[in-house]
Amino acid sequence: MNEGSEPTAITIIDACKTYAAGASAVRSVSLEVHPGEYFVLLGPSGSGKSTLLRLVAGLEVLDSGKVLFDSQDVTDAAPRDRDVAMVFQNYALYPHISVAENIAFGLRRRGTAKGLRKARVQEVASSLGIAHLLQKRPSQLSGGERQRVALGRAIARLPRAFLMDEPLSNLDATLRTEMRGLLGQLHQDLGTTTVYVTHDQTEAMTLGTRIGLMRNGELIQIGSPEALFERPQNLFVATFIGTPRINIFPGELQAGRVRFADCSVDVLNLPSDVSAGSNRVYVGIRPSDLNVATPAHDPSLPRLTVQVKLREYLGTSYLVYFVPKPLNRSTSLMPVDVSHSAEGYDESLRFCADVTATVSIESGGESDFVVDPHRLYVFDEKGDLIAGPASSHSRTALAGVSESSS
């Protein structure tokens, strides 16, 4: 945004884009990014999120639909006339000029006076911790330093909006964590409307005010990070959001009670219009919602008996991979909405519990997990959510004997 101006709203109306080969990249997407919002487009590779960002930037031409900045229709405007700043994963720096000249590039094109340009470059470089690098060339910098220079070039000219396309994907894990913190702080300081594309849910959950989850060119669900985690509309959202990924069991719903593996649980918050007959369903349980059964737990709580396949120590917790015992293969359903799953997925690592490191659990043995009825998700055969938790997530819901299934 220009200095002193209000943040910009970005509105996308029924946007469609099909490439020459016939692949539909964006299918009738409508979306409003609020002024000053940090909006994240999340999804697997090929979901259309980068194409949608490029349509907003004007780098791709819409087949149909509109893009508005506030009330201004910019659908046919050239990229340079939209006053947005792009940050790419490959940095896109000019290798033959210095860091200072790279940061000043947009200001120079605008005709900003030399003195103001120099002051602005120094200000931006200091805020990004790269003032000592201003005379270096991009080839002399690390990946993290190059990305800071790319951010500096975007920030320097105070655009109406920042459009960021997987800017951290080329960095190692430590640098990604550092840069996430920097991006969050910059947004707090600048308040500029930002649209950020990523396939990394950690980036989406930590940075986004709201997240738009895409698949096959369509927006599947829009909401806050908490809303997508706690209230996924379908199996695709439930299995994409959350690390480790949610456990999905084939099951049967009958008379308000769901049966899966060797477990039977009353379904809370079941809508009154759900058929009273027998229905094949999917049951979802987050790994953090499975607790190793101890004598302190209420014996009336449902239990899930499992065969422990692998235990990974993470310091404060274990990731415990298991196979339910028994898992009735004759009634198994293939997850209908989990198209992002990796090919060759190891069936023995399909189910996981995230348990505190203070409990005793060993690989190769049997164990019982306590199932909290308040934390169950139930999806119908098409993958749409039927019933889910009514309250916020809590790891301590089954901490002791005072907790019950009621």
**Does any domain span residue 400?**
no
DSSP at 212: E
Distance CA 167, CA 150 (A): 9
Q: What's the domain count of the chain? A: 2
Is residue 155 located within the same domain as residue 80? yes
Tokens 């470089």 found at: 125
Residue 339, C-beta contacts closer than 8 angstroms, at least 6 positions apart: 44, 215, 216, 236
Is residue 348 in a domain?
A: yes
Per the CB < 8 A criterion, the answer to whether 128 and 182 are in contact is yes
Q: Are residues 45 and 61 in the same domain?
A: yes
Q: What are phi and psi of 50, to 5 degrees?
A: -70, -35
> Mind giving me the DSSP string for 225-279?
HHHHHHS-SBHHHHHHSSSSPPEEEEEEEETTEEEETTEEEEPTT--TTS-SS-E
Q: Are residues 23 and 62 in the same domain?
A: yes
Predicted TM-score (pTM) of this structure: 0.87
Nearest alpha-carbon partner for 389 in 375, 403, 379:
375
How far, in Å, CA of 56 to CA of 90, rounded?
19
- Classify residue 303: in a domain, yes or no: yes
**361 and 331 in one domain?**
yes
Cβ atoms 246, 285 nearer than 8 A: yes
User: Tokens standing for 181?
Assistant: 């913190």
Among the candidates 197, 230, 263, a domain finishes at 230
Q: N- to C-terminal Cα distance for the chain?
A: 52
Q: What are phi and psi of 68, to 5 degrees?
A: -120, 140
Place of tokens 């829009």: 222
Q: Decide if 212 is inside a domain.
A: yes
Residue 371, domain member (yes or no): yes
Per the DSSP assignment, residues forming a β-bridge with 271 are none
Q: Which tokens in the block code for residue 212? A: 């738009």
My answer on whether 243 and 212 are in the same domain is no
Question: Strand pairing partners for 212?
Answer: 41, 222
In a domain, 4, yes or no: no
Note whether residue 178 is domain-resident. Answer: yes
Q: Sheet containing 10-18: give its strands across.
A: 24-33, 10-18, 64-69, 72-73
Residues 219 and 276 occupy one common structural domain: no
Last residue of a domain, one of 182, 213, 230: 230
Give the residue from 219, 144, 231 showing the smallest Cα distance to 180. Answer: 144
* 165 in the same domain as 313: no
> What CATH number does residue 63 fall under?
3.40.50.300
In a domain, 190, yes or no: yes
Say yes or no: 106 and 47 in one domain: yes
DSSP-derived secondary structure letter, 162: E
Q: Are residue 200 and residue 295 in the same domain, yes or no?
A: no
Q: Which of 49, 70, 157, 151 is nearest to 106 (CA)?
A: 157
* Maximum pairwise Cα distance, the chain: 76
Do residues 188 and 50 share a domain?
yes
Assess contact for 241 and 229: CB atoms under 8 A: yes
Range of the domain at 16: 10-230
Note whether 283 and 161 are same-domain residues: no
- Provide the CB-side half-sphere exposure for 344 (13 A, CA): 0
pLDDT tens digits, the chain, 406 residues: what are they?
344 468 999 999 999 999 877 778 999 999 999 999 999 999 999 999 999 999 999 999 999 999 999 999 999 999 999 999 999 888 889 999 999 999 999 999 888 999 999 999 999 999 999 999 999 999 999 989 999 999 999 999 889 999 999 999 888 888 899 999 999 999 999 999 999 999 999 999 999 999 999 999 999 999 999 999 999 999 999 999 999 999 999 999 988 899 998 899 999 888 877 765 668 999 999 999 999 988 888 888 899 999 999 889 889 998 999 988 765 444 454 555 444 443 333 455 579 999 988 888 888 888 999 999 999 999 998 899 999 987 555 444 444 333 333 2
Choose the final residue of a domain: 230, 249, 277: 230
Domain co-membership, 216 together with 241: no
